[in-house]
Structure 1
Amino acid sequence: MQTPPLCTDSPIEPTILASWVRALCQTLRGYDVDPDLLMQQCQMDTGLLHVPEARYPTKQVRLLWREAITHTNDPLLGLQMGKEIQAPSLHALGLAMLASANLAELMGLMARYCRILSSTMHMALKHDKKGSALVIKTLGGSEYNHAARIAMLAFVYRQACHLSQHPITPSFVALAIRTTPEQANRLEDYFGVPVTLEAAEDSIGFDYSTTLEPFAGANPMLLSLNEQAIRSYLGKIERMRFADRVLEQIRRTLPEGEPRLGDVAIRLGVSQRTLQRKLSHEQQSFQGLLDLARRQQAEDLLQHSTLPIVEIGYRLGFSDPSNFCRASNRWFGCSPSALRERSRLMAT
């Protein structure tokens, strides 16, 4: 098998949770491949594997994936890892998943907190009239053959079946990779549906009846405790990212009116030009972060408050309710009232 090229165009100092790497190492042992030797080749300290909350540079982990796929000769190594990885390997996020009320809540947790696993990982929920989809991307490139993304989608699907206590069928699975017919059959056998290949993005979807089915193991108290642990840990690692500092300032000033780039720059003690340059270096933009802050606050207020929808729109800086409705359709695939109703159905 020819050694695949390594992508190195990642953002500043991105990192990946050590226990995620430990799960990959365990999968490699099943192939009779010594993960310690591969980690040494990638200049990775094996001693960090069992250090709570330790992290590895993303460049090293992507190199490890390349070497792992080369030595196992399995382009779908990520699928195998997704079959085997245990929920506690995902820090408090995995434990929160086990306590979630339904698949909709589980996918929401992944979308909000996936950065706990990798600071370059981005997950988003997309909704339409038929159901919800979890879309996964990685910033600054990707590991070879999208292996980590496939591992995550395979893991989410396995947890969905496990927590539902019966096999469930996705409405679709789409991957951006190209495979052989044999590999395509492996994917179809695992997910139980034909997998769309060479897609625009890696994603998995479920209809609403599946996402809203209650999990027997739901535990709101345990979920809340683990979310607190997640936020505390993310706070530690995100303080190193300039984009997160900008986002926090936007969130703080949003209730006072639409934040302006110049005002945020003054609060952070930098010039507007420096702010824009630093954000660009992290592949972010001020307008994109403003949109993210609005979306997150809209989702929180619509799902967890009784404020009138018009007032929520005003709080987010939308003087015209129709503009808020258009933004909601772009963010969530539905109107503000539909999202609020959906959250009420989930709660019951």
Structure 2
Amino acid sequence: MSSIRHAVTAVRRRRWGGSFVLIRPNRPFDSDGLDRSRRTVTMPKTHSSADEPKIWAMVTQSLIDALKNKGHAPDTLLGRFGLSEATPADPYREIPLRNYVSAFEAAATHVADSNFGLSAARNLSPLTLGPVGLLFTSAPTLGAALKGFIEYNWLVQQGTTCAMARDGGSCVFRYRIEDRRIFPRRHDAEFSLAMVVEMIRALAGGAWRPQEVHFEHAAPANLQAHNAFFKAPLYFNQPANELIFPAADLAIAGSGVDHRVSGLVEHYLGMLRQRSVPTRSLEDKVRRMASDHFPGDGGFGVASTAQALGVSPSTLQRSLRKSGESFSAIKQDRRRALTENYLVQSDLSITEITHILGYADGACFTRACRRWFGMTPSMYRKLHRKDNPAADGEPASGA
């Protein structure tokens, strides 16, 4: 049993030589939706990290329906988060993403369903996402469907990475909420990946399955529902939520929908985008790139980041200073965010976390935790873990 547990919680670090390679958002795609250049990503469009991320009110319908299916009156729970059963009636109204995700997390406890996110996604209609879902179902191929979903998902949900990359013979679909204030978010992550799988199966056939499924959070105690739904190897404590599948699947043709609809829907979404185009600062772009790396992989440096952004290293450093930031501070913010996640949400040992985050030894990691949290890693874990586990492998401070 312990070996199985290790397999699903181990940090899997396979990544295109350590990172996504960034490209321009408007780079042309082939008809199947896949960018043919090697090792590329369709860049997400997200709002400034200074803003409170929002989500379209229509998306709450899936949460409302799931609560009703469990025999619960939605407003009993939703009222605590400024939501109600009437929220989707104004479908394009923007509500705080934090409220939506928090309601999803609370719903799992409210209905006593530890797999509430998975349950909510079962048999979900793509039209839950309005025109973005309709664009998906009317696409001529799976590749075109995913390309359109990624291109316009930022309209539906802000503050979120939604991207696709190619790694040899496989493709990776990535989803991750970037606002670290929105936490915990396990049920949103499981709902979101399961929703994408449901949409893919509606287009490609019910037998479709990914090669691997990755989640940011720690493995739940019971994975029976996850195995039954995804029918693929599961990996937890990952840097993002991802579906890995054969690149050849991108050519799968859509089933029986009038593909002329996609042109009309895309035109409508284009008009919405013109009214909603966000501005992204250089700081936002650097933070987004930092999120695509493990701090210990050696792939995130000033020179490589400047090259990817098309500026000189000195220009990058100068621009960050003008905004009151520095490259090293952004890198440390990424380390701190991962530290909080691994200490609270994973069962990785302190020694394993030290290695993953690229610290030379346990003493260096302990000093960093004292600087951030005012306490050692084990103390922070004890304070914030609901199960309050015993300390494990606390290194000497060396300071």
- What TM bracket, shorter-length normalisation? 0.5 to 0.7
Counterpart of 1:212 (choices 236, 251, 257) is 251
Match of 2:53 in 1: 14
1:119 pairs with 2:119: no
TM-score normalised per structure 2:
0.56
Match of 2:184 in 1: 144
CA contact (8 A) 1:65 1:144 kept: no
Q: Which runs of 5+ in 2 are unaligned?
A: 1-48, 286-309, 313-318, 331-399
- Matches of 1:204 and 1:226, distance apart in 2: 26
1:42 pairs with 2:42: no
Cα offset for 1:181?
A: 4.3
In structure 2, give the amino acid aligned to 1:35. Answer: P
Match of 2:143 in 1: 104
Match of 1:154 in 2: 194
CA contact (8 A) 1:163 1:217 kept: no
Counterpart of 2:203 (choices 141, 163, 167) is 163
Cα distance change on mapping 1:243 and 1:31 into 2, 3 Å? farther
Cα distance change on mapping 1:60 and 1:11 into 2, 3 Å? farther
Cα offset for 1:48?
A: 3.2
1:233 pairs with 2:272: yes
Cα distance change on mapping 1:39 and 1:127 into 2, 3 Å? same
Cα offset for 1:131?
A: 1.7
Cα distance change on mapping 1:20 and 1:96 into 2, 3 Å? same
- 1:1-348 equivalences under 5 Å are 11-44=50-83, 46-141=85-180, 142-182=182-222, 184-217=223-256, 219-238=258-277, 243=281, 276=323
In structure 1, give the amino acid aligned to 2:274. Answer: G
Number of equivalences: 254
- Matches of 1:96 and 1:169, distance apart in 2: 22
- Matches of 2:261 and 2:84, distance apart in 1: 33
Cα distance change on mapping 1:218 and 1:63 into 2, 3 Å? same
Cα offset for 1:219?
A: 4.2
Q: Which runs of 5+ in 1 are unaligned?
A: 1-9, 248-257, 261-271, 284-348
Match of 2:376 in 1: none
CA contact (8 A) 1:48 1:55 kept: no
In structure 2, give the amino acid aligned to 1:154. Answer: A
Per-residue CA deviation, residues 222-272 of structure 1 (Å, 9 max, x unaligned), is: 112111222222333445x5659x99xxxxxxxxxx689xxxxxxxxxxx7
Cα distance change on mapping 1:166 and 1:44 into 2, 3 Å? closer
CA contact (8 A) 1:131 1:207 kept: yes
CA contact (8 A) 1:173 1:194 kept: yes
- Matches of 2:101 and 2:58, distance apart in 1: 15
- Matches of 2:188 and 2:230, distance apart in 1: 16
- Matches of 2:176 and 2:183, distance apart in 1: 11
Cα distance change on mapping 1:60 and 1:180 into 2, 3 Å? closer
In structure 2, give the amino acid aligned to 1:151. Answer: F
- Matches of 1:236 and 1:277, distance apart in 2: 30
SS at 2:122's partner residue?
helix
- Matches of 2:52 and 2:220, distance apart in 1: 35
Deviates more, 1:12-21 or 1:218-227: 218-227
Decide which structure has greater helix share.
Answer: 1
Match of 2:357 in 1: none
SS at 1:115's partner residue?
helix
RMSD: 3.3
- Matches of 1:197 and 1:166, distance apart in 2: 25
- Matches of 1:78 and 1:235, distance apart in 2: 32
TM-score normalised per structure 1:
0.64
